[in-house]
Structure 1
Amino acid sequence: MRSNTRRLAAASLAAVTATALLTACGATSSGQGSGADGNTITLWTHNAGNAGEYKVVQQIVKDFNAGQSTYKVKIQAFPQQSYNDSVVAAASAKKLPCILDSDGPNVPNWAWGGYLAPVDLSGSQVPLSDQLPSTVGTYQGKTYTFGYYDVALTMFARKSVLQANSIRIPTIGKPWTKDEFDAALAKLKAGGKFTYPLEMGTGGAGEWWPYAYSPQLQSFGGDLVDRSQYKTADKAMNGPAAVAWGTWFRSLVTNGYMAQKSGASPNNDFLNGKSAIEWDGSWDAATNSAKLGSDLAVLPPVDFGKGPKIGGASWQWGMSATCSNKAGAQAYLKFSRQTKYFVDFAKAAGTIPATADAAAQIPGYQPGGPYDVFSQEARKFAVVRPVTPAYPFISSVFEKTAKDILAGADVQKSLDQAVQQINSNLKTNRYYAG
């Protein structure tokens, strides 16, 4: 995972470890409760190393504790790097807190494994229906988590560079087609002014890979798994559309359009003029705008045939299945669903607010503002990662497969092997039924 994408999923290794433990240990929802001592309720967060977001968590807890006398919430904060491992260990020991945050793609796995319980958020100030769909975590028709914000993949470029090369500046209503994008890269390569015309962060690791590149696979018409029943990846990840994606993905390297492994600071490389177009995210918009001003072009994702796609879902909040005071946990979660807290989180994180009411209160995110484009992308183009407990395993397989393809491995064989691994995992876990 790229270092500047802290709001995306935690490291794949931790997620795969979670899957392994769930497979070995089974669900953890049975057994003694935990997470509360009477009406004193424990809350865990991954924000120990993120002062801005952690300050908002502290403020909500302070306001909740001061606003009523029945419950008291206590915070325990972890660094993001160790958070998933801490949750896995606590779940195995049946010592989860009552309230915890989870990265959106992991919610189905945690729900299936007995980490999370469904939540009743009726009567909250902010209805779930007001939120971006990608900011609500569901599994098998039940709501388990909600988030205050999301992020959006996008492309950045300099208007002056595109105009100098007679390249059309795409819009949300009319994004580039694959042919237009390929032609633009060929023009920029021929101009010889950039080390690589395209920067896509291929030096990243972990969840960055499925977050950044599976939307392109989906825009080609493929996917990480057949979502109709979540029982096979056959034809989704190794069919003609997926092979076309893999062939194109590899061609970016063989044509000299993109580095097989980018540098440690892709956004700095873009700002320093080493690349002309960057596949990045909304988290770098403010930095890029400050450096490039009105010359910054924020571009929608390319339509490779099945419509533009970006990844959806970031960190979200829920209640553990083993919580011994679910009434208190849900009282806190309902209290926290106030528009002012959605505003505070989005401001602190520099992210897309999860509701339109919150967006209207944040400079730049109001309708027509310079960052409203990200809200539009999140609503129009976001695809959540597969809603299956198998996702952490699928994520790790996709990362390795995509890296192999960039390194020159046979596309069809690599995708076939990925399908075999995913299907084996699904079958071994009885398709995560129950």
Structure 2
Amino acid sequence: MKQATLAVSLSILSASSLAAPTELKIWRHQTGDIEMQASAAMVERFNQSQGQWNVVVESIPEGAYNESITAAAMANQLPCAMTIDQPTVPNFAWSGFIQPLDKLLDKKDYDTVLAGGKGTYKGQLYSLGQFDVALVMFSRYSTLEKHAIRVPTVDKPWNEKEFADALAKLKTSGDFNYPLDLNAAWGGEWPSYGWGPMLQSFGGDLIDRDNYVYADEVLNGDDSIAFAKWFKNLVDNNYIDKKPANDKGFVSGRVAMHYTGSWSAENYFDAFGEDLAILPPPDLGNGPVISGGSWQWSVTKACPHPEGAAEFISFIMQPEEIAQFVDQTSLVPTKPEAAKLSKLYKEAGQWNMFYVFASLYGQTRPATPGYPVISTSFDKAMRDIIDGKDPLDALDMAVDTIELNIEANKGYGFKL
């Protein structure tokens, strides 16, 4: 009898070991070839690393991605895991599409992740990202030296007066059409992502982050008005082109400095080599600030195997995996342990400063489901200010739109 029992047990174990792994369907947004190849290789490494789960990826065009998620949720056809753009995470959490990761993952998976690598809502973790990008000021060392402008550093960035003096020197030199490019032609998310940090550096913000309900006396408070007037003066003084034809002003020599993302670094290095100066953003009164948060991984509430999705996220959040991914894509790692392993982002790495800026200055956009309306309202306010509208009037209109939307949605889960 014992031999028969043993034989049955062995046959069960054998059948189990030969069983096909359980399929985990995941979605990701389509992007450039290099990132897609790096992502595919990462998934293959996970599949080869264990025999319980087989991740199958479906890529969806980025332009239709959010709509695809909403449609799939309504039809109860969401995948097990999916990438989400970090600012939209609270909205998807509030809508009930995704579930918290706190109880699915070990704390070591996310404990050291930079702010820009996490998506949260009401204090809970809903997404994790391997990478981010960093906003910087690009210039040329030769330009700064010629015009006797101090090179700012992490320890001593430009303050508001130094920044103003630098712009004035560059303008009066006659060497450039404009001293600065702030990508004024970019709409959509750019004003909140790119100019919102300058607003925060002034001491203002897009909403009161203590309650995520009120924007009055914050977005239209004294510090925010000071920012808006400062920005309007950049236009009025012809320090920036309010309607640039393209973003090639810096590389073509028409503009002395370009405030943009780390995504431009390789092209600018190819153009200028060691003369390329990668500078921290200015301290406009309350310290330098840059936006954090890019595409991140989440687990849907529809997932039949959340433990498998969590194992996949845990795997790709290993420092070794992050380091390999960012070295292939030049995106900025979100873990210090990964930065140390990365050829590009370790202390002596070519792009180490981007990790330093992200770790020191990175702040996420407001973690509220109402963020899309906050972003579009701020975009309109800044467009109106650029076109000559009174800054207070423009900000007041944005505040009204934001607060009416929050009230109509009963606080988006926050107490009114």
**Mind listing any 5+ residue stretches in structure 1 that lack a counterpart?**
1-37
Does 2:403 correspond to 1:423? yes
- For the 8 Å contact 1:56–1:341, the answer to whether it is kept is no
How far apart, CA to CA, are the structure 2 residues paired with 1:326 and 1:122?
10
Per-residue CA deviations over 1:268-316 (Å, capped at 9, x if unaligned) read 3201101001101111122212221221111111111111111011110
How far apart, CA to CA, are the structure 2 residues paired with 1:426 and 1:118?
23
Per-residue CA deviations over 1:8-40 (Å, capped at 9, x if unaligned) read xxxxxxxxxxxxxxxxxxxxxxxxxxxxxx932
- For the 8 Å contact 1:311–1:385, the answer to whether it is kept is yes
Q: How does 1:5-404 map to 2 (within 5 A)?
A: 39-47=22-30, 49-119=31-101, 120-123=103-106, 127-264=109-246, 266=247, 268-404=248-384
Deviation at 1:61, TM superposition (A): 2.4
3-state SS of 1:130 partner: coil
Distance change >3 Å, CA 411–CA 123, structure 1 → 2 = closer
Deviation at 1:123, TM superposition (A): 4.2
Deviation at 1:121, TM superposition (A): 4.9
- For the 8 Å contact 2:117–2:129, the answer to whether it is kept is yes
How far apart, CA to CA, are the structure 2 residues paired with 1:370 and 1:429?
46
How far apart, CA to CA, are the structure 2 residues paired with 1:338 and 1:75?
20
- For the 8 Å contact 2:104–2:310, the answer to whether it is kept is yes
Deviation at 1:364, TM superposition (A): 3.4
How far apart, CA to CA, are the structure 1 residues paired with 2:328 and 2:69?
24
Task: Tell me the amino acid that sits aligned with residue 342 of structure 2.
Answer: I
How far apart, CA to CA, are the structure 2 residues paired with 1:123 and 1:241?
40
Bigger-Rg structure (1/2): 2
Deviation at 1:206, TM superposition (A): 1.3
- For the 8 Å contact 2:327–2:344, the answer to whether it is kept is no
Deviation at 1:363, TM superposition (A): 2.7
3-state SS of 1:284 partner: helix
How far apart, CA to CA, are the structure 2 residues paired with 1:280 and 1:429?
34
Task: Tell me the amino acid that sits aligned with residue 163 of structure 1.
Answer: E
Instruction: State the TM-score, normalized to the length of structure 1.
Output: 0.87
Instruction: State the TM-score, normalized to the length of structure 2.
Output: 0.91
How far apart, CA to CA, are the structure 1 residues paired with 2:324 and 2:104?
20
Residue in 2 that maps onto 1:14: none
Task: Tell me the amino acid that sits aligned with residue 305 of structure 1.
Answer: G
How far apart, CA to CA, are the structure 2 residues paired with 1:191 and 1:221?
32
Task: Tell me the amino acid that sits aligned with residue 162 of structure 2.
Answer: E
- For the 8 Å contact 1:121–1:334, the answer to whether it is kept is no
